[in-house]
Amino acid sequence: MSTTTANPWDAPAPEAQGRPSAFGLLPEDLEGAPGRAAHVFSRLQRPWTWREEGLCLNREAREWLAASYDTSLPVVVESHPSEDGATKVVLRLRDGERIEAVHMPREVRNPRVTLCISSQVGCAMGCTFCATGAMGIKRNLSAGEIVGQVLALIRTLGPERPHAITLVFMGMGEPLHNLDNVHRAIRILNHPGGLNISTRRITVSTSGLVPAIEKLARMEPRPWLALSLNATTDEARSRVMPVNRVWNLGRLREALDAWGLAPGEKLLLEYVLLAGENDTLEDADRLADWLGDLRHGHNINLIRMNEHPASDFRQPAEERLQAFLDRLKARGCFVTVRKSRGRDVQGACGQLLK
């Protein structure tokens, strides 16, 4: 993480200097639009109402929008279908920057889709196992760009209806480093007049920015939280995730306590297994100890390290992963192994690199 006082991630998105994106507007921002604000909002946010030639709005409303706002979406410039059904998509933003997202259909009979989306161009956090971290940070995405990313994916690859969508902020960037824009995007995506995606189907994954976790805990609507833990001692965690030097495991655990789970809500804990770094049975025991009385409100996701040229870390042997999993289960943890999707097209976790 950068230690300078000027935070590069505070740089405004370029649209702040030009016309802002219409897809970043809430109904209250559309009060002056010809016709009802709610109608214009829903035409912007419901891709199944769009026509070939664009938004299904009368000329007056279209001209009103075009005078102050940009109604173009991020452009899908590359699409890489993987053998497993997932598709990695590269999107080009207005200033030419590129971001990546992954479209992951689940079960053919009951078609549901998980969209893994980006929150920043690059990332400032510098985790040593992550390809995005190796890029450094370029800039934040605006709320309009985050929403536009979702709409562009749906328009290109489906699904037609939003009830089948799950969103995970697990693409490029640290969403809590861009909390205001990410939260505004969530308000728009969750709005009943738009896609109406339930907050139970929106997960924000963080490397552990404690003040932002505490702030998000009190925000409405509140998405589900995932924490990338990835180590069980402060020494090891600070080595692989520099953010731990600022907010350590003890502070993180307090922040999770303060989060306060709603009925039925779970905390997701992501743990990337790195051979020789965090994959011993002692690590599994320490992880279970650290969880303590969170025992009933969590799901641990073990992730195989996706190897890439920007990191020397390797994934552990399968027996080692199995032993780690068995130990956690024996300690009463709820744990699954993540099936990495899109590996063959560099679309899996931590491989998103421009």
Binding site for ligand SF4 (CB under 6 A): 123, 125-127, 130, 132-133, 173-174, 207, 228
Residue in the block written with tokens 């640290």 = 174
Class of residue 319 by CB neighbours under 10 A (exposed 0-12, middle 13-18, buried 19+): exposed
Q: Which of 182, 174, 204, 171 is nearest to 354 (CA)?
A: 171
Q: In the complex, which residues of this chain contact ligand SAH (CB under 6 A)?
A: 129-130, 170, 174, 205-207, 228, 230, 270, 272, 303, 305-306, 349-350
Q: How many CB atoms lie within 10 A of CB 281?
A: 13
- The torsion region of residue 332 among left (phi > 0), alpha (psi -120 to 50) and beta comes to left
Smallest distance from ligand SAH to CB 275, Å: 12
Nearer to ligand SAH, 154 or 172 (CB): 172
Cα distances (angstroms) measured from residue 321 to each of 24, 149, 237, 280: 42, 35, 19, 9
- Contact yes or no for 277/240 (Cβ under 8 A): yes
Contacts of residue 272, Cβ cutoff 8 Å, sequence gap at least 6 = 129, 228, 230, 278, 303, 304, 305, 349, 350
Smallest distance from ligand SAH to CB 237, Å: 11
Q: Which of 141, 68, 150 is nearest to 114 (CA)?
A: 150
Which does residue 64 bind out of ligand SAH, ligand SF4, none, counting CB within 5 to 8 angstroms by kind?
A: none
Which does residue 277 bind out of ligand SAH, ligand SF4, none, counting CB within 5 to 8 angstroms by kind?
A: none
Note if 116 is an active site residue: no
Class of residue 90 by CB neighbours under 10 A (exposed 0-12, middle 13-18, buried 19+): middle
> What distance in Å separates the CA atoms of residue 266 and residue 135, rounded to the nearest whole number?
31
- Spot the catalytic one: 100, 270, 277, 307: 100
Which does residue 170 bind out of ligand SF4, ligand SAH, none, counting CB within 5 to 8 angstroms by kind?
A: ligand SAH
Smallest distance from ligand SAH to CB 283, Å: 15
Helix 179-190 to helix 143-157 angle, to the nearest 10 degrees? Answer: 50
Nearer to ligand SAH, 30 or 225 (CB): 225
Nearer to ligand SF4, 126 or 223 (CB): 126
Which does residue 147 bind out of ligand SAH, ligand SF4, none, counting CB within 5 to 8 angstroms by kind?
A: none
Nearer to ligand SAH, 100 or 270 (CB): 270
Which does residue 42 bind out of ligand SAH, ligand SF4, none, counting CB within 5 to 8 angstroms by kind?
A: none
Which does residue 100 bind out of ligand SAH, ligand SF4, none, counting CB within 5 to 8 angstroms by kind?
A: none
> What distance in Å separates the CA atoms of residue 99 and residue 352, rounded to the nearest whole number?
9
Contacts of residue 172, Cβ cutoff 8 Å, sequence gap at least 6 = 99, 100, 118, 119, 120, 121, 122, 123, 132, 352
- Spot the catalytic one: 123, 130, 333, 349: 349
- Contact yes or no for 60/34 (Cβ under 8 A): yes
Smallest distance from ligand SF4 to CB 115, Å: 16
Cα distances (angstroms) measured from residue 81 to each of 87, 88, 132, 349: 4, 6, 20, 16
Nearer to ligand SAH, 143 or 302 (CB): 302
**Nearest residue to ligand SF4, scored by beta-carbon proximity:** 133
Smallest distance from ligand SAH to CB 117, Å: 10
Smallest distance from ligand SF4 to CB 50, Å: 32
Note if 100 is an active site residue: yes
Nearer to ligand SAH, 57 or 101 (CB): 101
Which does residue 230 bind out of ligand SAH, ligand SF4, none, counting CB within 5 to 8 angstroms by kind?
A: ligand SAH
Contacts of residue 19, Cβ cutoff 8 Å, sequence gap at least 6 = 68, 69, 70
Smallest distance from ligand SAH to CB 127, Å: 6
Nearer to ligand SAH, 115 or 305 (CB): 305
Q: List residues with catalytic annotation.
A: 100, 349
